[in-house]
Copies of this chain bind each other. A is one copy, B any other.
Amino acid sequence: MDKTMQSRPLPLRAVRVTDSFWQREMDLVRTEVIPYQWEALNDRVPGAAPSWWMHNMRAAARRNAARRAGKVWTVPAQAEKLSFQPLPEKGTQPDPDAFYGFVFQDSDGYKWLEAVSYQLMRRPDAALQATAQQAVDAVCAAQEPDGYLDTYYTLGLREKAFTNLRDHHELYCLGHLAEAAVAWHQATGRDDLLRAAMRFADCCAAQLGREPGKKPGYPGHEIAEMALIRLWEETGERRFLDQALYFIDERGRRPFWFDEEARLREGAAWGGPTDGSAYHQANAPVREQTEAQGHAVRAMYLYSGMADAARLTGDDALAAACRRLWHSAADEKRYVTGGVGATHVGEAFSRPWDLPSDTAYSETCASIGLAFFARRMLQLEPDSRYADVMEEALYNTVLSGMALDGHSFFYVNPLSCDPEACRTDARLAHVKPVRQKWFGCACCPPNIARIVSSLPAYAYTASENTLYVHLFVGSELNVTLNGKPLRLRMTTAMPWDGEASLEVLEGSAEGTVAVRVPGWSREARMSAVTLRSLLTPGTPECAADEKAQTEKDGYVYFTGTWEKGDRIEIFLDMPVRMLKANARVPELAGQVCFRRGPFTYCAEGADNGPDLALCRVDAERLQAFPENIAQEPLDVGGITVTALKVPALKAVPDDALYTEWAPDVESPCTLTLIPYFAWDNRGENPMRVWLRR
């Protein structure tokens, strides 16, 4: 492990995104998603299922007040074995003292607060901050005197807290609380939520651990691992790192705690012993795990925490486990859209090479988790393979999760969609042919909000002496190299074209700027240019010798003295690429998909008519690939994308179900492909990423 290559994201405040593509997405989150979600958290969206978030927080605050006042409080009945607490019966008023909704409902508001905080770092907004303060105050008031903070148990049988870590998400809520608290602290300087998070973390640590008298438990749904590490980084309190490391290392040890706690709880595990539960990544100690398994979001969050821990502790064995799990997830189980988790059963990874298009789960949150994991692997060891996957996830499935108007969301991201089949076929019940307004389990929309709002953390990371450029995003940024500040500007035509320039606007520093060479570029060229060389007659314009230039693992490292006017000129060719899948993927045999730059493309009914399934690309005309694939601007749902025009053939089916083999009767046609993220913005219609060849 080369610790000198490790890096951390630039602070969000240090980067201002200026390009129209990402500004638009970030603004959507600010103007559409965040206000809508605030209404949702307060159960004020007409026609939508209530969130119960504010209801639960306020009820918990009253419960705390009653306890302080020594008042009698009747605990409403709870359905302990259900993750969703039954709603009030029709026609009756909700019990103001009862917990409603999913047991992890608290986390919805934390994710919203995190996204708000990131937006406040983009641009101060007193009104938004005041609204968010209401949420923060509600959270703080809901916290119990001992620091406990999970409204499901506060409103129910508090003595049962920490008795069902596997299913009841207390530590998941802790994780999201910590993430929000750190962001809120960074955005506002206020430590109210930070103190709440620290107290809840301490409350958990008092119960859980290897010390005598504690339970050797760990999260049923991971996230606390990476969140506690952030809490440590923000507060400098080492105990939070230790707590994260404990969660990571205790996981999957025998005897399996999830079985133990079930036995303690009621003499038997629900649904029998978990046998370590691969679903929860708890079937073996994490250092012994080799295959990405189980619930995909859980897995991604765990691996992200592991990568953080490996980097911060220099733990080579943990880093090796991260690499193995990365290989399994990214190289054997990843959709070409940057999605992971092929099966809806358990929202989980399937076996290697099982990547069905139509029944795909590919949850938006899992793709977000893949970006988390990729960024952390980049921080651990810069390698453009990680960045390629991170970019693929961000520009495809993550963005696909949200409509271009910010009003509706995909939870599931199929790679082919026949709307009629989705509506009528119970095997496709999880696949929605159009984005939905909101979900009862609203994990994806606020998760999109927080990752989009924190995009700069994925574009740039830095070490003491190196700035890493992972994504090409129009932006201005402040970075410190070897203690000296630099102000730079990235100008780029991305994501639609591959020219870019990174220029020093202010400052002077020695150090390295490392620029990723994307896997999609075949003839990338980069060079450092200094004003001084231009000013010195007889010096070649491209004074590459002034900056020592090396390439390693898909990054070009420019090292030297950086002064105002210095710049790195970047040219990334962006050819249309026709990909095939490994022959071991039975689903995709004989099929191709098209990519250009960061985008995976798809054919949609809106451009190509309803009979997409009858079309295949014309291998003969594609002999002249990619010359005869035209690229044209196309307006899709209010934005202009670069569409691809692919020569194709459309079968003219007869009536017979089975006939003697003969070439199909086909007529030539042209398929118009658009970037995957932009599909389903023109009404319900069929879509396919993979096309027969």
Contacts and interface: CB of A to CB of B under 8 A. Distances in A.
Nearest to A416: B586
B351 A421 contact: yes
A424 interface: yes
A336 B659 CA distance: 10
A359 B427 contact: yes
Interface string A328-359: 00111010100000011110001100100001
Contacts of A351: 420-421, 424-425
Contact of A425 (B350, B653, B693): B350
Contact of A661 (B346, B427, B580, B616): B580
Given A581-B658, A655-B331, A658-B582, A425 B354 contact: yes
Interface in A336-394: 336, 343-346, 350-351, 354, 359
Nearest to A595: B658
Interface of A: 330-332, 334, 336, 343-346, 350-351, 354, 359, 418, 420-421, 424-427, 577-586, 589-590, 592, 613-614, 616, 651-662, 664, 692-693
Given A354-B421, A426-B345, A583 B664 contact: yes
Contacts of A330: 657
A427 B331 contact: no
Taking each of A346, A427, A657, which has the highest tally of chain B beta carbons within 10 Å of its own beta carbon? Answer: A657
A657 B582 contact: yes
A656 B660 CA distance: 36
A590 B692 contact: yes
Taking each of A359, A420, A425, which has the highest tally of chain B beta carbons within 10 Å of its own beta carbon? Answer: A425
Contacts of A655: 331, 582
Nearest to A344: B427
23 contacts: A331-B655, A332-B657, A336-B658, A343-B426, A344-B427, A351-B420, A351-B421, A351-B425, A354-B421, A418-B586, A427-B427, A579-B661, A580-B658, A580-B659, A580-B660, A580-B664, A581-B657, A582-B654, A582-B657, A582-B658, A583-B651, A585-B657, A589-B613
Nearest to A611: B584
Contact of A582 (B345, B426, B590, B653): B653
Contact of A660 (B421, B577, B658, B661): B577
A337 to B, nearest CB: 11
Contacts of A583: 614, 651-653, 664
A614 to B, nearest CB: 5
Contacts of A418: 586
Contacts of A580: 658-662, 664
A334 B657 contact: yes
A420 B655 CA distance: 36
Contacts of A590: 590, 616, 692
Contact of A659 (B420, B579, B613, B653): B579
A660 B521 CA distance: 12
A687 to B, nearest CB: 13
B592 A661 contact: yes
A460 B692 CA distance: 45
Contacts of A346: 426
A216 to B, nearest CB: 29
A620 to B, nearest CB: 14
B350 A582 contact: no
Contacts of A334: 657
